[in-house]
Amino acid sequence: MLKYPPPLDYQLSFLKQWMKLVEDSNQELIEEIYELYTSLISKGLNDDDRNYCYKSYYLGEGDVFVTLKESRHIVSGGTTGLCTWQASMELAEWIAAEQKEAFNNKHILELGSGIGFLGLSVLKLTSPLSYTFTDCNVDVLKLLKNNVDINNIPGVPPIDTFTVVVKFKQKTNQCSCLFVVCYTFLMAGNQIVSTHLDWNSCEQLDFPPVDIVLASDVIYDTELIDPFINVLEKLLRPVSPARVPPVAYVASTIRNEDTYSQFLQKIDGSSLLYKEVKNELAKRIFYYDRRLIVSILEITYNNN
């Protein structure tokens, strides 16, 4: 928290309210608080402070936090992917409450990772064998790289480029952390294989078999529905009768009911099956606007 403090205006607002509470209770305020407040006022905002801030999310157990550098604007640089959205928080709450054991020793791939909130939460709460972050926006991936670095996942060295595969230990398991910038770089023996990841025109995905696919807040435009289902069908198709079939968990904030209904209809017309999972055991960990409905679907491949 000291190394990656919250926004300057948040610190000033917090201190101002706290000072008022102390003064209203007729308690004496120590001089150091006044000095801290005046020093923050004199500091002022630079361009980076105006556009970005650090946020630390408590994960509900021990002293486990995810700290992210994220945009202070909903849309920045032509993308909405530079900040954290509600569906990823609700999906993380559900995993923390009901699915931690199920995520252990699994190969997990996330579609539309954004700046890394969901993936970093999973890596800190569970013990996967591998976790693959994917996104198509270069600016988003640069921020994701930064956020992986500052969260100090055990055994992960600082990441210099996106074109390397970083091997690291996650708790007691060997885990590999992959980054996708238009191309996905995967380790195949001693070679690095690049595979283009394009939802709109992916005839074949060269990812290793995955056990779990995650996605959150990716269904906000009807033009994304068909490409997204196309990718899910390829990732969830069983590769071997001896292997447990993969499963996807997709969390969506329902901002437009027509868009979400079209998504469900498209799934019905595909080779996929879905059911809604209830967040019954999840305790509220994160602070966000809960007036909007978030749906979590479990999606599998229909072998019949």
CA angle 16, 20, 22 (to 5 degrees): 120
Q: What is the mean pLDDT of each run of 10 residues along the chain (304 residues)?
A: 71 82 84 80 67 86 88 59 79 88 89 89 86 78 84 62 36 44 33 39 62 92 88 88 89 92 96 88 76 92 86
The reported pLDDT for the residue numbered 156 is 54
Per-residue confidence (pLDDT) for residue 172, from 0 to 100: 37
pLDDT (tens digit per residue) in 160-169: 444 333 333 3
Separation between Cα atoms, residue 285 and residue 60, nearest integer Å: 6
Q: Are strands 166-170 and 272-276 parallel, antiparallel or unpaired?
A: unpaired
Q: Give me the numbers of helices (H) and strands (E) for the chain, helices first please.
A: 9, 13
Q: Tens digit of pLDDT for each residue in 242-300?
A: 788 999 999 999 989 999 999 999 999 999 999 999 766 667 888 777 888 899 999 99
Using alpha carbons, select from 188, 190, 232 the residue that is nearest to residue 210: 232
> What is the pTM assigned to this prediction?
0.77
Residue with tokens 């709109």: 200
pLDDT, position 273: 97
pLDDT for position 48: 63
